[in-house]
Structure 1
Amino acid sequence: MIMAMAMANKRIKRVLLNWLCMSWYHVIIFLCTGFIFVLQLTCMAMNYTCLT
């Protein structure tokens, strides 16, 4: 039972590593868009506080 768990754990880790290696550019794009989105939100909030 524990052996099977360890095997499954190893397999899951390998799959995750493969997925990360394959989709690292997706992660970078996601981070960049999130960063830009936050920046835009911050700018809008600043403008709003300046206007009021």
Structure 2
Amino acid sequence: MDQEIRNLLRKQKYKIVGEHSAVKLCHWLKKSLMEDRVCYKQKFYGIKSHRCLQMTP
């Protein structure tokens, strides 16, 4: 991954994993683990906030 891309991702609060991947934890994942709060996906669909995953290609 190009250093410019790495810096951009870090600025957007992504964590670099390996040589070609990045991950960003959702706000609700943190709230679920720390404060026992949940997002709409758990309320309406039963998906546990700490197990939820969103991806882009």
Q: Does the TM-score normalized on the shorter chain lie above 0.5?
A: no
User: Structure 2-normalised TM-score?
Assistant: 0.29
- Structure number with higher helix proportion: 1
Kindly name which structure, 1 or 2, has the bigger radius of gyration based on alpha carbons: 1
Structure having greater relative contact order (Cα 8 Å, sep ≥ 6):
2
- Structure number with higher strand proportion: 2
